[in-house]
Structure 1
Amino acid sequence: MEITISLITNKDILQLQEIGKKTFSETFSETNSEENMTKYLEEGFSKEKLTKELEDENSEFYFAKSKNEVIGYLKLNVGNSQTEIKEDNALEIERIYVLKDFHGKKIGQILYEKAIEIATQKKVNYVWLGVWENNKRAISFYQKNGFVEFDKHIFKLGDDEQTDIMMKLNLKN
């Protein structure tokens, strides 16, 4: 399967909204209430919010495509656009999501490698992310790629407060 990675721009907003909602829903709907999921999907993937994020010079989105079909995406943040740590020498992987039908086909790894390539180009000291403590699949993926846990923070999904494990990968020795 040939995978292409491409930078997402404002003209791709509807595709981004669609893949964002679908992958988030596939990943978390079984373990969260319908009300909380609906609220998060409406707010987190609104055209206004996505437009603002796409226009942010410190954030970048990338699609993973197979035969021109969007099958996953990546969101990266640097500087003040990072959700938590605001250090200039860090890059945040805010999102790597892949459609369920494509799990186990190395799409997440390809998106992850794109993130590391960009982090290297930007000469950051480390890459960090937050991952839900119950998302064992993702935690295992990041551990396999050398990430270690360094903190925790709260992620609000609707009225539910959930714990994210914060993980980092040092790029400088």
Structure 2
Amino acid sequence: MDFQVLPINVDYAGALANLAKRLFLEAYGLDVKSLPASAEEYLNSEFSIDAQTKELSDTRMFTYMAFEKRGGGDTATTTPIAYCQLRDHKHEHNDVIDDPDAIELKRLYVDQHYHGFGVGKRLILQSVAKAKELDKKTIWLAVWDNNANAIGFYERQGFRKVGKRQLKMGEHTVINYIMIKHIANIIPSSNSDSALHCKL
């Protein structure tokens, strides 16, 4: 499989909104047809085109999308298959995160049909490169405590659990693990905003 990771801007707001909502439902094992009204309202707000436009316009957020490449020449096509978002803001988890300047890996989702091809790892590498460029020493994230596959993936990438937090989706509540990765001694393999290619 041939895929490419690129930084994206507001031109991709619609594509990101569609991909983000679909992969969120997939990751949490939810069916949009059976969602409680409050949870559906949360999703429609969190992953609307307007919300993604706002996030893509935010100079403290950095979004990367992975595209599968098929064919060549005039018949070549690209399909969005994954994305990640870094958010540089002051976190509220000082009781469990020992670095007040840590940057958040707010989202990282990969279409389940592309698990096992190195897409998620490539997005982690991209995130580390960008964080290093911003002189960050720690990346933190929140992951659903019932998503064993995601937790295992992050642990293999060097993250460790440091605490738990609740996430409210309307009237629905889930528990997330807080995980961190120290990156001070990691040397990034490429410029953070250049295209990353991988053939598998």
Same-fold call, TM > 0.5?
yes
Q: Which residue of 1 aligns with 2:22?
A: 22
Contact 1:25 1:37 in 2 (8 A): no
Quote the Cα distance in structure 2 between the aligned partners of 1:114 and 1:164.
Answer: 23
Q: Secondary structure at the match of 1:127?
A: strand
2:109 to 97, 115, 119: 97
* Correspondence 1:65-80 to 2 at 5 A: 65-67=67-69, 68-80=78-90
Maintained 8 Å contact 1:3/1:64: yes
Q: Percent identity?
A: 29
**Does the CA contact (< 8 Å) of 2:61 and 2:85 recur in 1?**
yes
Runs of 5+ consecutive residues of structure 2 not aligned to the other structure: 70-77, 186-200
Counterpart residue type for residue 64 of structure 2: Y
Residue aligned with 1:57, SS: coil
RMSD after superposition: 2.0
Shift of 1:111: 0.7
Cα displacement string for residues 37-75 of structure 1 (whole angstroms, at most 9, x for unaligned residues): 422321111122112111111001111001111001011
Q: Which whole-Å CA distance do the structure 1 matches of 2:47 and 2:89 have between them?
A: 22
Structure (1/2) with the larger helix percentage: 1
- The one-letter code of the counterpart of 1:125 is K
Q: Which amino acid aligns with 1:143?
A: E
State how far apart, in whole Å, the 1-side matches of 2:184 and 2:121 are: 21
Q: Match of 1:72, as an amino acid?
A: A
Match of 2:57 among 34, 55, 58: 55
The Cα of 1:31 is off from its aligned counterpart by 8.2
Length-normalised TM-score, structure 1: 0.90
SS at match of 1:79: coil
Native 8 Å contact 1:29 1:37 kept in 2 = no
Q: Displacement, 1:108? A: 0.8
Is contact 1:132-1:162 (8 Å) kept? yes
Using the alignment, how far apart are the partners of 1:14 and 1:85 within structure 2? Answer: 32
TM-score, normalization: structure 2? 0.78
Q: 1:1-173 alignment to 2 at 5 Å?
A: 1-30=1-30, 34-35=35-36, 36-67=38-69, 68-80=78-90, 84-85=92-93, 89-172=101-184
CA contact (8 A) 1:79 1:88 kept: no
Q: How many corresponding residue pairs?
A: 171
Q: Which has the larger radius of gyration?
A: 2
AA in 2 matched with 1:71:
I
Structure possessing the higher relative contact order (Cα contacts under 8 Å, 6 or more residues apart): 2
Q: Residue in 1 aligned with 2:72?
A: none
